[in-house]
Amino acid sequence: MPQQTYDVVIVGGGHNGLTAAAYLSRAGLSVLLLERSGHLGGASVSAEAFPGMGARLSRYSYLVSLLPRQIIDDLGLRITLRRRRYSSYTPQPGTERGLLIDHGDPQATRASFEGLGAGADIEGWDRLYARTSRLAQALWPTVTGPLPRRRDVDALVGDSSITRDFLERPLGEVIETSVADDLVRGVVLTDGLISTYASAHDVDLQQNVCFLYHVIGGGTGDWDVPVGGMGAVSGALEEAAHRGGAQLCTDSEVTSLGDGSVTWRNAAGDESSAAARQVLWAAAPGVLDRVMGNEPEQRAEGAQVKVNLLLSRLPRLRDATVPSDAAFGGTFHINETYTQLETAYRAALSGALPQPVPAEIYCHSITDPSILSPQLQESGAHTLTVFALQTPDRLLDGADLDTARTTYERAVLDSLSSVLAEPVEDVVLTMPDGRPCIETKTTRDLQDALAMPGGNIFHGPLSWPFAEDDEALTGAAARWGVTSAYDGVLLAGAGSRRGGGVSGLGGYHAARAILEARAD
């Protein structure tokens, strides 16, 4: 039978693949999207993680900052992103105090700094974030255009001390010259360590790149709650791709590419193929290498443990001055002082799981109860998501995964309980079969479930969102930052130049590159 020919075949049905499918099909191209697993959305999905309980959690990714308004408007996505009332709460380990950063109340934030004995840092903190705000306002509008050059960024920011400090010097230097308190320094550093195993002073600046993506989103750096959970975001993208006429196939794992042909296999092992004028790779670049018969050049390594919990109520804090719904209403940092983050980095370097494991928590159901059944809402139940840092995938080399998962889960729960007035287990709900509502995902679990090599949530190390001044940017794919190592294949996922996180940018940039090249 002759192969069917498509203008574009997209490999990977995560939110980026869906974004590309929506843009390209709406532009009139014939589009086939192939997704290996049984459902669409990739790392942007909601799931009944605890069967029979009535809670649909954002199973992997949970907050949105990097999805541009332009993509929402272009594709007519019906989604609501809700601002959280509080920015963060960080208990001081071993004490009954903590730092509450309250968006809505600068006076309360000031009092919290002072209560911690860190009043002298208020000015440095404000200045640091005024400087990141300058970066955000300059860089954010560029993300929906072709890659800017570094010199463009300098001109847009208009203050070379800011670009030098954040783009050229290890993040640790700017933190240490801005604020003095160990806990305050730690709160800043955490944004540089999301799925990024690093020390504040690493000279490769991966922690700076990660930090940058965490402070520029929307021009404000706010991280908002997707109402209905992350599945609502990928669901809206799926609908847009459907409306455009894209053909979306699950249970279709691409096994080879070449000479304009794409071959995939279903769960029963049956193979199919199609001809493609253009292939977009919206899965991890490391998987592309393997499909092309090559070993990836560098190891893609995540550095987090993710634990989802369903609780009968919010736990009580050791710090009685802060209500639980305020502490859990923003990002709750546990054991993330600057010293603890560095100690954890060194422990992992020596091959040990950090103890206590630094982690941040987020409670979806405070800002958006709609993910809970009416009964759970009435009962006062809440979801918690814990995202632990400085736990690189290499720690699992040669380990028995089940044993390691149990050890990691214990470490995360102990870390959490260390800042509570009661063990967290006391408020964990149990499923009808008697198991506790706790779901733990190591980097290896993510690799298995999502084909994210090494559990790296960005598909590999993040890249600066600009090109160097002397970099050749020949052709539409290079200008949009979506070239791959292989002819005829463009990157369209998190592993593209500016694609990490829930942003749709990988898919959007690849679609723009294709449409631009066709117009030439």
Ligand X SMILES: Cc1cc2nc3c(=O)[nH]c(=O)nc-3n(C[C@H](O)[C@H](O)[C@H](O)COP(=O)(O)OP(=O)(O)OC[C@H]3O[C@@H](n4cnc5c(N)ncnc54)[C@H](O)[C@@H]3O)c2cc1C
What does the angle CA 277 – CA 271 – CA 243 come to, to the nearest 5 degrees?
Answer: 50
Alpha carbon distance 223, 125 (integer Å): 19
What does the angle CA 394 – CA 395 – CA 397 come to, to the nearest 5 degrees?
Answer: 65
Handedness of CA 115, 384, 499, 144 (dihedral sign): negative
**Closest distance of CB 225 from ligand X, Å:** 10
For the chain, state the CA radius of gyration. Answer: 22
**Closest distance of CB 460 from ligand X, Å:** 10
Q: Which CB, 32 or 372, lies closer to ligand X? A: 32
Write the CA distances from 84 to 3, 44, 320, 328, 362, integer angstroms.
50, 19, 22, 10, 11
Q: Which CB, 91 or 506, lies closer to ligand X? A: 506
Q: Which CB, 16 or 365, lies closer to ligand X? A: 16
**Closest distance of CB 306 from ligand X, Å:** 4
Alpha carbon distance 93, 183 (integer Å): 9
**Closest distance of CB 242 from ligand X, Å:** 17
**Closest distance of CB 124 from ligand X, Å:** 27
- Give me the residues paired with residue 272 across strands: 264
Q: Which CB, 15 or 479, lies closer to ligand X? A: 15
Binding site for ligand X (CB under 6 A): 11-17, 34-37, 42-44, 60-63, 66, 253-254, 282-283, 287, 306, 446, 450-452, 457-458, 493-494, 499-502, 506
Q: Which CB, 34 or 413, lies closer to ligand X? A: 34
Alpha carbon distance 456, 449 (integer Å): 12
CB atoms within 10 A of CB 445: 20
CA 321 to chain centroid, in Å, comes to: 31
Q: Which CB, 356 or 460, lies closer to ligand X? A: 460
**Closest distance of CB 515 from ligand X, Å:** 19
Phi, psi angles (nearest 5°) of residue 79: -130, 155
**Closest distance of CB 254 from ligand X, Å:** 4
**Closest distance of CB 130 from ligand X, Å:** 24
CB of 418 within 8 A of CB of 337? no
**Closest distance of CB 282 from ligand X, Å:** 6
Tokens of 458: 């960005």
Alpha carbon distance 512, 504 (integer Å): 12
Q: Which CB, 10 or 101, lies closer to ligand X? A: 10
Q: Which amino acid is at 24?
A: L
Q: Which CB, 91 or 231, lies closer to ligand X? A: 231
**Closest distance of CB 231 from ligand X, Å:** 12
Q: Which CB, 35 or 121, lies closer to ligand X? A: 35
Write the CA distances from 510 to 34, 71, 229, 256, 432, integer angstroms.
16, 13, 26, 20, 46
Q: Across the chain, which distance is largest between two alpha carbons, in Å?
A: 75
Alpha carbon distance 242, 253 (integer Å): 20
Q: Which CB, 118 or 236, lies closer to ligand X? A: 236
What does the angle CA 79 – CA 84 – CA 85 come to, to the nearest 5 degrees?
Answer: 145
